[in-house]
Chain A
Amino acid sequence: MEKTKTLFEVIGPIIIGPSSSHTAGATKIGLLAGKIYAQKPQKITFKLYNSFAKTGKGHGTDKGLLSGVLGLNVDNPQIRNIFEIVQKSEIEYNFEYLENFSRHPNSVDIIFEKPEKMKLSGISLGGGEILIDSINGYKFNITGNYPTLLLIYKDKPGMIYKVTVLIQKQNINIASMNCERKARGKEASMAIYLDSPLKKEVTKELSAIDEIYFIRSLEALK
């Protein structure tokens, strides 16, 4: 049985066509990736796989990805002319079209190269639903449907407790979370999906924790 759709999933969403998976989904992946990168990218490489690579040009997948990374929403008509818009700026970008059947049919790697390096992978699941499933080699499950807190930190006993206590103190409900570590005592990643967005002070307090090197507090995509 399918999950029941809400009215606005059936009559909507409002998007730039032609495809909810290949245009709107691509834009959303870009948008979320850009929010995670959280700085103005100067050089980006997009590696499109399989169906994204094959039909991406005709669907404007490339335009969607680039527009998203630069902060445009799925219904922004500028997506159509994003290449001309970017031409006037200093941003360097390039697209690679690849085949790799171990990857999802609609997947993409977004590699930010300048000013800082970061590599993310995203999947368009259909109907405009998406997933960012890895950041710098760490597995995540970020859909953009919930406010999300992302952390990469040095694995140490008590870290999860420290973080969740701060969230509880704000009376914010945790919808779900997942943690992963490379090895005991090495780097680990944590994603916490929340019912409402974190307050700025919490993020500040978290950033003050020595063991945390990477922190992002993301709002839900609309």
Chain B
Amino acid sequence: MNEIKTFDELLKYTQKEKIEIYEVCQIFESQELNISIKEIRKKVKATLEVMEESINNGIHSTKLSSSKMTGNDCKKLENYFSQKKSCLNISQQKALLYALATAEENARMGKIAACPTAGACGIVPAIIFAYSQDTETQINALITAGQIGKIISNKVALAGAIMGCQGECGSAAAMASGALVFIQKGTNEEIITAATLTLKNILGLVCDPVAGLVEVPCVKRNAFMANIAITGAELSLSGIKSVIPPDEVIDAMYQIGTFISPQLKESSEAGLAATKTGLKITQKLHK
């Protein structure tokens, strides 16, 4: 089997072979890594276990990060959900909570699975654990997310320093969106459409972290992105299509990434990092 590099190739291949996206991915990985599909799934399961552990650790901790900028917001959200009437349903509440919990855990030097990066590590697990309790489904959903990330990574570096945050949290949201459609038993085409719709709505997202740390805006952004992923999945499951085809959206993402000024690609020389407050925090920390 030849390597699949585009969404178009992926969809055609699934149609020809009458298989699911996760199946394509595990067949290819098993060839590439020279291990059995069973082994691949075992490794994915181990990754899921780390993800679940980071969610649990994150929810139960209020320890601040070493910069003290983040670490105790997840608790606030949990209290609010349990004490007040939220406008979200339980799964949506979980998604926000889990995303924030994982991202806070990362900022306080917890153990996490990068997905696709450490800064974006909360988004995919949040969606998978909020919407599925079945291990096999979770494994398939995570592989589906991985396949979407792999295709994006063919053209776009999954790194804030090269493509801006669209490459990190943006890619993660697209991955999560596709995973959610899979969990909701959507078709392969709907999975790809959800990822596409989501990507179109994170284009141009810059990377301007305060004091160069993976905290502000990164931690809260994980919760926002979980919600964008849900929106993408819902629109797609309703039958809405993307006017711009998936691979062209990735081309646009790449072009935009190259146009984003280097000052807004992780160098912390502009944007939020260069606000009055951002600079004040930076000075204090670098003293």
Contact call A59/B158, Cβ cutoff below 8 A: no
Alpha-carbon gap, A203 to B85, bound state (A): 68
Q: Please choose the segment from B90-98, B146-154, B197-205, B231-239 that sits at the chain A interface, where 4 or more of its residues have CB less than 8 A away.
A: B146-154
Contacts of B121 in A (CB 8 A): 17
- Contact, CB under 8 Å: A16 / B110: yes
How many CB-defined contacts (below 8 Å) exist between A and B?
Answer: 139
A54-B113 CB under 8 A given contacts A2-B153, A59-B213: no
The proximity string for B residues 53-82 relative to A, scoring 1 for CB distances below 8 Å and 0 otherwise, is: 000000000000111000000000000000
B-binding residues in A (CB < 8 A) = 1-2, 4-21, 23-24, 51, 54-55, 57-60, 63, 75, 77, 79-80, 126-128
Q: B44 at the A/B interface (Cβ < 8 Å)?
A: yes
- Looking at the assembled complex, report how far the CB atom of A32 sits from the nearest CB atom of chain B, in whole angstroms: 20
Chain B: minimal CB distance from A18 (Å): 4
Q: Using Cβ atoms and an 8 Å threshold, which residues of chain A touch B150? A: 4-7, 10
By size class, the interface of chain B is: 35 or more
Given contacts A7-B25, A20-B117, 9 further A-B contacts (CB under 8 A): A4-B153, A6-B33, A10-B175, A15-B113, A17-B106, A18-B118, A19-B118, A58-B215, A77-B110
User: B5 within 8 Å of A by Cβ?
Assistant: yes
Q: Check if B106 sits within 8 Å of A11, measured CB to CB.
A: no
12 A-B interface contacts by CB (under 8 A) = A2-B153, A4-B150, A12-B47, A13-B114, A14-B114, A15-B112, A16-B111, A17-B118, A18-B107, A20-B114, A63-B109, A126-B159
Q: Is the CB of B155 within 8 A of A55?
A: no
Q: Is B43 an interface residue (CB 8 A)?
A: yes
Is the CB–CB distance between A12 and B285 below 8 Å? no
The interface bits of chain B over 117-159 (1 if a CB of A lies within 8 angstroms of the residue's CB, else 0) are 1110100100000000000000000110111011001111111
Question: Judging by beta carbons under 8 Å apart, are A16 and B25 in contact?
Answer: no
Q: For the complex formed, measure the closest distance between the CB of A40 and the CB atoms of chain B, giving whole angstroms.
A: 25
**How far is B109's CA from A75's CA once the two chains are assembled, in angstroms?**
10
Closest Cβ–Cβ distance, residue B153 to chain A (whole Å): 5
Pick the contact of B119 from A2, A19, A51, A58 — CB < 8 Å? A19
- A5 near B158 with CB under 8 A, answer yes
Q: Indicate if the CB atoms of A14 and B33 lie closer than 8 Å.
A: no
- Expressed in whole angstroms, the Cα–Cα distance for A51 and B211 within the complex equals 10
B213 touches A18 (CB 8 A): yes
Shortest CB-to-CB span from B159 to chain A, Å, is 5
| Cross-chain contact B111 with A15 (CB below 8 angstroms) | yes
Instruction: Quote the shortest CB–CB distance from A68 to chain B (angstroms).
Output: 14
Q: Which of B3, B149, B212 contacts A11 (CB 8 A)?
A: B149
Q: Is there contact, CB below 8 Å, between A11 and B118?
A: no
Does B153 lie within 8 Å of A10, measured CB to CB? yes
Min Cβ gap A121→B in Å is: 20
B29 proximal to A (CB < 8 A): yes
In the assembled complex, the CB of A76 is this many whole angstroms from the nearest CB of chain B, namely 9
- Residue with the highest number of chain B CB atoms closer than 10 Å, among A5, A23, A51, A79: A5
Q: How far is the CA of A55 from the CA of B67 in the complex (A)?
A: 10
Contact yes or no, B142 A19, CB < 8 A: no
How distant is B123 from chain A, measured CB to nearest CB, in Å?
12
B270 at the interface (CB under 8 A from A): no
- Whether B109 contacts A4 by the Cβ 8 Å rule is no
In the complex formed, the residue of A with least CB distance to B209 is: A55
- Chain B residue, CB-CB nearest to A4: B154
**Which residues of the partner chain B approach A16 to less than 8 Å between Cβ atoms?**
109-112
